[in-house]
Structure 1
């Protein structure tokens, strides 16, 4: 299996799969990030790369390009992306005109407020939902292969259409992220004395506000209609 993108999610996938004996190769535009993921035990960065499955674990704004590139580089491989929005990736691929029967969008519902390979964990997906998002042209064998990937990480597989997925995550993930950020912004200018009055409820509400703002800008932009609904 080949992972493109060695941030939190890509490296965690590599760690989970290497722990059960899967041969994982790693790739990232940052050689430093790929080397860190390798040193953590998420896979190898050298040797032959002939994957049966490619996982694109990049941010939403580059995922369509990375998926398209993977489909062209490995014409026999199944390709999945694990970004938080599914319709924008699928629509970009449809517009490109390439055959997409080997592509299946998916999304592990797991993460941390800290990003990067250094924050990766082999058990990040254990017991968490991993959503498969087949489209009208999906090859059933591609769906089955991505399902086995998710199960190998310890995740619980569920299936939604790309539209159903985006609507669901808007409600349970994206809107709560916006709410947490708004609450945190309201607290920014309070005095230390006022902040000292806060209880654990405030910490719970604002914990995820520490997540990468650049990544969340891309996610919210890509799923804006569902978030605004």
Structure 2
């Protein structure tokens, strides 16, 4: 079991196994050693530790956002480790790459200035083992808008974020809530989701814009 304070560069939450991918490695070690191994590895972005089984499951990507609002209910962040497997996200890698963590909104993201199409932006994000930001709630939408406005970067609008296809879905799977769209552009196969100063909108996937990556 972990002892002492959780480092400030670690985001953690109760793990839901179904929301995690196949681990890159599974070790039979205690929790401190699990964290040390992940923290010291450039290939370990996150890990889950199951105290009941004494198993350390290491991952090359981040699944923190998958269960932040699992079943519509946000898990408390201070649940004791022994009550269920815990999932830890190695924030040090993300922070070193210029990402910022907004714990209230459940986001770890980076606004990238540049000219890229939707596909090109997704490729840049994947190089960080991240993806384009999938804005799923009004809380997340307001948080990212507030941040951009606070940095006087309004000139970056619009920006590429996750969402594409004739029905505007996240990575072609889950529909994006209509309430997040402030402007309803023409819905077409060649359109992708863009973040404007007032909310989401539909724009051309081939537009060369700045974009937002997220873990």
Q: Same fold (TM over 0.5)?
A: no
* More helix, by proportion: 1
Task: Provide the TM-score with structure 1 as the length reference.
Answer: 0.28
* More strand, by proportion: 2
Task: Provide the TM-score with structure 2 as the length reference.
Answer: 0.29
